[in-house]
Copies of this chain bind each other. A is one copy, B any other.
Amino acid sequence: MTVPPLPALMIEPTVRAALLEDLGRAGDITSDAIVPAGMHAKAALVARQPGVVAGLDAALLAFRLIDPAIKAEVARPDGSKLARGDEIALISGPARGILAAERVALNFLCHLSGIASATHSIVEAIKGTRARVICTRKTMPGLRTLQKYAIRVGGGFNHRFGLDDGVLIKDNHIAFAGGIKPAVARARAAIGHLVKIELEVENFAQLEEALALGVDAILLDNMSVEEMRRAVALVAGRAVTEASGRITPQSAPAVAATGVDLLSSGWLTHSVTTLDIGLDDR
């Protein structure tokens, strides 16, 4: 399934700001001084390592915002699997503009493709299980919409987008409320009918209490694989179960094999490695 693109309206302010951040108060003084005004160039966005494309719209928008005369032919849109050397898109137009936009375009494309690729690796590693890979709110300030989109492109799913679109009750909330029961009751009394409640549990007593209260989802905090398996069995489908922590393609299968519904990873958005993509002359 292709992941629907974000409307340009939603990404343009971010791309525009990134370009202005790079252009500063004088623009690309190197290319302006050295590259003759009328010169045209052709270049390709090329994968230097295998992965999954994400963020191509933002990258191409960067070129277009610098100079509307820059054109692109897309060979591998977001979601495409990349082998080393694969061409993602062909860029052509005024040389100065292409050089001026290059770094910003790659900053979006490499970072978001890095997220999609890492997500995809874990998704592949747990194929055949019921588990989904999900992200967290541990995102780069200002880039949440784009990062969460890249998670989807990689085959993952999104946890909450912010503090306002889901209830997630943690240990602190339970402590301030004086227990799980009042915490859940207060949340239920306040929220709209399309808002779900997830609760973080640290042990089996809490788990049973949460189940009894009928919460929608349960975050199993800090449990061993063995404990998770037991927890999943106890839940028996009465709530969605989420396992969190750093998840790698290596560690994921064992966790997924416990039967949990969700593997959540902050790593994918706060510490992921960029995917190496370059802009090569054509």
Give A contacts to B, CB under 8 Å: 1-2, 4, 6-7, 9-10, 14-37, 39, 41, 65-67, 95-97, 99-100, 103-104, 106-108, 110-111, 114, 132, 134, 137-145, 148, 157-169, 172-173, 175-177, 182-183, 186-187, 189-196, 198, 216-217, 240, 242, 261-262, 266, 270-274, 281
Contact = CB atoms under 8 A, between A and B. Distances in A.
B195 A271 contact: no
Given A9-B19, A17-B141, A273-B271, A190 B32 contact: yes
Given A35-B173, A134-B193, A272-B271, A24 B162 contact: yes
Nearest to A4: B32
Contacts of A167: 29-30, 33
A113 B206 CA distance: 34
A232 B183 CA distance: 30
Given A16-B9, A272-B271, A161 B191 contact: no
Contacts of A16: 9
A105 B25 CA distance: 20
B107 A139 contact: yes
A159 to B, nearest CB: 6
A30 to B, nearest CB: 5
Contacts of A163: 22-24, 26-31, 100, 103
A196 to B, nearest CB: 4
B142 A142 contact: yes
B107 A140 contact: yes
Given A95-B176, A194-B196, A242-B193, A142 B24 contact: no
Contacts of A9: 16, 19-20, 23, 65-66
Contact of A142 (B14, B161, B187): B14
Given A21-B25, A33-B167, A141-B143, 16 more contacts: A2-B37, A17-B141, A21-B142, A22-B137, A25-B148, A26-B158, A26-B164, A27-B163, A32-B190, A34-B176, A34-B177, A35-B173, A107-B140, A157-B191, A157-B193, A164-B165
A152 to B, nearest CB: 8
Interface centre among A31, A107, A163, A189 (most CB of B within 10 A): A163
